[in-house]
C-alpha cells in the first residue's frame, strides 16, 4: 500500500494535447490553465486479481503552465514551467480507505527546442522537437500518508514530438517519452525505487479550419516497476488509453480544448474509467 503514495501522479503525467509541438514566433508568450478530472473504479496489482468492489479513486488537478518562445542561433526554444496542484480523494481498495490529500504537486521545468520547424507545410505544419522535463521534489509530501500529490524525488522525462501533415486536412502526431526516476528514501520507513517508464502517444488530427481541430489519440506506456527496499510491490506503469479531443479558437489569442480519456488496459495500478481534461490557452 505504500506504493499508493505515488498514485496521484498519473494525473500529472507527460500526456500531450494535440498541437503541443507547434513552434510559435520568437517573443510569443503562452499561458495555459489545465483542469483535469479523473475517476477510477478498479485496481490491479501486478500478478493478482483486479479489485473492483468498493474500490476507486477520484482526482481533481489544476496546472498552470507558462511558456516563452525565443530564437537562439536560428533555433526556436521554449523555456517553460508547470505548477500543478489539486485534490485526490475517495481512495479505497476492497473497502480499505486510503484517505485523501490536497495541495501543491511537484513543479516541472523544461525547455523545448525544435530540430524541424516548418509552419507552412500542409494544414498542420511539420515539426520535430525535443523537451527535457525535470520534476522538482517540492510538492506536498508526508511519509505517513498513503496519498500524496508530491513524490519526494526527482524525475527526468525526455520527450520527442513529431507533427507530420498527411493529406488534405489530416495530420499525424507522434510522441515518445522515457522517464527516469530518482529514489524516494522516505516511503514510510523504506526506500522506493522505480524502473524507467517508456510511453508512446499518437494523434490522428483533422483541422476543420484554422480555428477548429479534432484529434483521435492513443497512448501506451510500459515499465515503471516499483520496489520497496528492493522488493517488487506489484505497482508499475502499464497503461493503454484512448482519447478524443476537440479544440476551438475563441478569439485570435484564446483557445479552449476538451479531451476525454479512457483506460482500456492497466496492470499494476488504478484503471481510469473516464478522464475529462479541460484547457484554456492565452497567447500574448
Higher pLDDT, 9 or 177: 177
DSSP string, 42-85: EEE-TTSPEE-TT-EEEEEEEEEEEEE-EEETTEEEEEEEEEEE
DSSP structure class, residue 24:
P
Which pLDDT score, from 0 to 100, does residue 226 have? 92
Other beta carbons within 10 angstroms of residue 168's beta carbon come to: 10
Which pLDDT score, from 0 to 100, does residue 189 have? 86
- Cβ atoms of residues 151 and 9 within 8 Å: yes
Q: Mean pLDDT, the chain, as a whole number?
A: 92
Q: Is the pTM of this model over 0.85?
A: yes
Fold that domain 2-283 belongs to in CATH: Lipocalin (2.40.128)
In b/e form, how buried is each residue of 60-88, taking b as 16+ CB within 10 angstroms? ebebebebbbeeeeeebbbebebebbbeb
Name the residue with cell 530518482: 182
Question: Quick check: 8 pLDDT over 80?
Answer: no
Q: What secondary structure, in 3-state letters, does 26-51 show?
A: CCCEEEEEEEEEEEEEEEECCCCCEE
Which pLDDT score, from 0 to 100, does residue 10 have? 55
Amino acid at each position: 500500500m505504500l506504493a499508493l503514495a505515488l498514485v496521484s501522479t498519473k494525473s500529472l503525467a507527460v500526456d500531450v494535447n494535440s498541437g503541443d509541438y507547434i513552434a510559435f514566433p520568437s517573443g510569443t508568450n503562452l499561458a495555459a490553465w489545465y483542469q483535469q478530472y479523473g475517476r477510477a473504479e478498479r485496481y490491479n496489482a501486478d500478478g493478482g486479481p483486479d479489485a473492483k468492489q468498493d474500490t476507486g479513486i477520484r482526482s481533481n488537478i489544476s496546472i498552470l503552465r507558462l511558456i516563452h518562445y525565443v530564437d537562439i542561433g536560428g533555433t526556436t526554444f521554449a523555456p517553460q514551467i508547470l505548477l500543478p496542484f489539486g485534490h485526490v480523494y475517495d481512495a479505497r481498495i476492497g473497502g480499505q480507505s486510503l484517505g485523501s490529500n490536497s495541495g501543491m504537486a511537484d513543479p516541472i521545468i523544461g525547455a523545448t527546442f525544435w530540430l524541424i520547424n516548418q509552419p507552412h507545410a500542409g494544414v498542420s505544419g511539420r515539426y520535430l522537437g525535443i523537451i527535457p522535463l525535470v520534476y522538482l521534489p517540492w510538492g506536498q509530501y508526508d511519509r505517513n500518508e498513503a496519498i500524496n500529490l508530491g513524490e519526494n524525488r526527482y524525475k527526468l522525462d525526455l520527450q520527442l514530438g513529431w507533427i507530420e501533415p498527411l493529406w488534405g486536412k489530416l495530420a499525424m502526431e507522434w510522441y515518445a517519452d522515457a522517464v527516469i526516476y530518482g529514489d524516494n528514501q522516505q516511503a514510510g520507513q523504506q526506500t522506493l525505487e522505480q524502473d524507467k517508464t517508456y510511453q508512446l502517444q499518437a494523434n490522428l488530427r483533422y483541422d476543420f479550419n484554422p480555428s477548429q481541430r479534432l484529434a483521435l489519440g492513443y497512448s501506451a506506456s510500459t515499465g515503471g516497476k516499483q520496489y520497496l527496499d528492493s522488493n517488487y510491490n506489484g505497482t508499475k506503469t502499464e497503461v493503454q488509453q484512448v482519447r478524443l479531443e476537440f479544440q476551438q479558437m475563441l478569439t485570435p489569442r484564446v483557445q479552449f480544448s476538451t479531451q476525454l480519456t479512457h483506460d482500456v488496459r492497466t496492470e499494476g495500478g488504478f484503471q481510469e474509467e473516464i478522464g475529462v481534461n479541460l484547457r484554456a490557452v492565452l497567447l500574448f
